[in-house]
């Protein structure tokens, strides 16, 4: 008889945790997606700049909500489309115009339209990177 309250607590706890486990949006590699978050930077060790490792600062966006990045064709994924789940930080690949906007607006919320790709070399410092197509600062 005393097990019933414990079971009720366990079931209630599991039900409350479900939204936390299921809230990552699914997006696909190499398709235009909109992501939102805080423009930030990370200091990382970069591989092989002029034959040496060196500490550099890279542009990133810290997402408000985690995303799951999946292959375009889940039944036949390409070798560069490794599924990544729960992604919260993405390195930004910026053109000159987007770089200027980023530099003037670090630590501000932004909306980015981009194409996602998986990191594949020593200059990629997050599992998933974003080729930025447009960058808009969210006005408060």
Residue 37 to residue 105: CA distance in whole angstroms: 12
Confirm if 43 and 56 have CB atoms less than 8 A apart.
yes
Q: What is the mean pLDDT of each run of 10 residues along the chain (140 residues)?
A: 48 42 82 97 85 89 97 92 96 96 97 94 88 93
User: What are the beta bridge partners of residue 44?
Assistant: 56
In this prediction, residue 84 carries a pLDDT of 96
Number of domains in the chain: 1
| Of 137, 134, 129, the residue nearest 59 (C-alpha) | 129
- CATH code: domain of residue 127: 2.40.50
Residue 112 lies in a domain: yes
In this prediction, residue 66 carries a pLDDT of 97
Residue 42 lies in a domain: yes
Residue 2 lies in a domain: no
| Of 56, 69, 55, 116, the residue nearest 91 (C-alpha) | 116
Residue 105 to residue 140: CA distance in whole angstroms: 13
- Model-level pTM? 0.79
In this prediction, residue 5 carries a pLDDT of 52
In this prediction, residue 10 carries a pLDDT of 43
Confirm if 124 and 91 have CB atoms less than 8 A apart.
yes
Q: Which domain holds residue 40?
A: 24-137
Hey, which bits of the chain come out as E strands?
25-28, 32-49, 52-70, 84-93, 109-118, 128-137
Residue 73 lies in a domain: yes
Residue 52 lies in a domain: yes
Residue 4 lies in a domain: no
Residue 38 lies in a domain: yes
Residue 33 lies in a domain: yes
In this prediction, residue 13 carries a pLDDT of 45
């Amino acid at each position: 008889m005393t097990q019933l309250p414990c079971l009720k607590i366990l079931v209630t706890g599991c039900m409350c945790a479900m939204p936390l486990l299921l809230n990552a949006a699914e997006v696909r590699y190499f398709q235009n997606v909109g992501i939102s978050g805080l423009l930030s930077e990370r200091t990382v060790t970069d591989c092989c700049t002029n034959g040496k490792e060196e500490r550099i600062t890279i542009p990133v966006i810290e997402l408000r909500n985690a995303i799951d990045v999946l292959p375009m064709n889940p039944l036949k994924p390409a070798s560069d489309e490794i599924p990544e789940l729960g992604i919260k930080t993405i390195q930004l690949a910026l053109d000159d115009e987007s770089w200027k906007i980023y530099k003037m607006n670090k630590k501000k919320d932004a909306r980015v339209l981009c194409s996602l790709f998986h990191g594949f070399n020593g200059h990629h410092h997050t599992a998933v990177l974003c080729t930025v197509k447009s960058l808009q600062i969210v006005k408060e």
